[in-house]
Structure 1
């Protein structure tokens, strides 16, 4: 079945579409037969994703998706396996970058950010979550029950953004430890120390540190 969309979609749906597209472009998933059908399916997915964006095909990353898709189609029509793998890798990189951008856009909303943190750290005790988010255990319980997120919203959003860079390489316990461990990049302070202070400079320092932890220089 073709995956087609004609109207802007919810951010969470677009995030899922971008992640799935990136997964389908892993070089291990490139088929040896039926490549025309594979490319046609990718084209449907690129169309669905790009047309669902608020700016549609005028979005910078949407234009890059189409450019890389055209390169992949040419490689599939006449290129070598190496050319196909390179084109798929490049298209996959754009899809994953777009997925990260969309996730960050979604997490700018405090309710979505709180849900993301609570879901990612579901196994973490409420007392530790309360310390991380700078709220009471009672507030954590209220947020888990779906109550509005109105306290420490800037901190909640920042914690969610930081976690996006770390969650693929750390367990829930590891994430908690990352925030509690002193870092020489922070003058031997912990990320929690920065969260307890001025969040404006803390954001840049913590995002940079989290990116470095996964070897990522930019979105």
Structure 2
């Protein structure tokens, strides 16, 4: 089993897993018969997925989770029916869906996992160029504190760091569909899906993170359909 595939359980390196799946799918596409390596990959993924780190996967965009799991189901069905004339096509489709989902997950993770809290503050300031007061309100801090994070040595810590990371993950979804002003409005508007609460009021509740990310993701992917 490759090191990349072993990282699937904790999603420590989704981009590497995506690259490995893409490599295998290219082999399938260039071979007259499905290589044994491809069937082995799907079989090994089955054993890996039994031990998924649920807490880690719960922080992932629900849409991308669904794409990945649909792709896995297709590849698994192909594995169980290797003699079926449609197995090769189903395998390639499933592998590509998984590759795409993991690649997108990796890109999203770079925003919140690959940057320090201070770097995330600067990223937010650049991506959402609104008055600092509006962005600091979403982050739940005074403007002066936000300015110190941007320009001086202090950095977000504790609950502040968590809130910055959550906001960055959500903004990374919303920025594809809204203007900067629209992004801020999304955080401040009561939503029926949240029982009339504003998204920004739930930003420090870890248990609400998947739901908030899911709502933001739904905006992005509804635009794509």
Native 8 Å contact 1:65 1:94 kept in 2: no
Task: Name stretches of at least 5 consecutive residues in structure 1 with no aligned partner.
Answer: 1-49
> CA separation in 1, counterparts of 2:177 and 2:151?
28
Q: Does the C-alpha gap of structure 1 residues 103 and 137 become closer, same or farther in structure 2, counting only changes over 3 Å?
A: closer
Superposition deviation, residue 146 in structure 1: 4.8
Q: Does the C-alpha gap of structure 1 residues 92 and 115 become closer, same or farther in structure 2, counting only changes over 3 Å?
A: same
Q: For this pair of structures, how many residues does the alignment match?
A: 155
TM-score (norm: length of structure 2): 0.56
- What are the equivalent positions in structure 2 for 1:77-116 lying under 5 Å apart? 91-107=99-115, 109-116=116-123
TM-score (norm: length of structure 1): 0.57
1:120 alignment counterpart: 127
> CA separation in 1, counterparts of 2:156 and 2:112?
19
- What are the equivalent positions in structure 2 for 1:35-184 lying under 5 Å apart? 58-60=6-8, 61=14, 62-76=16-30, 91-107=99-115, 109-121=116-128, 123-150=129-156, 152-184=160-192
Give RMSD over aligned pairs. Answer: 3.2
Q: 1:211 aligns with which of 210, 217, 220?
A: 217
> CA separation in 2, counterparts of 1:190 and 1:160?
17
| Farther off after superposition, 142-151 or 161-170 | 142-151
Superposition deviation, residue 58 in structure 1: 4.2
Superposition deviation, residue 177 in structure 1: 0.9
1:191 alignment counterpart: 199
Superposition deviation, residue 77 in structure 1: 6.5
> CA separation in 2, counterparts of 1:202 and 1:74?
41
Q: Does the C-alpha gap of structure 1 residues 71 and 94 become closer, same or farther in structure 2, counting only changes over 3 Å?
A: same
> CA separation in 2, counterparts of 1:94 and 1:204?
17
> CA separation in 2, counterparts of 1:65 and 1:161?
23
> CA separation in 2, counterparts of 1:98 and 1:136?
32
Task: Name stretches of at least 5 consecutive residues in structure 2 with no aligned partner.
Answer: 9-13, 34-88
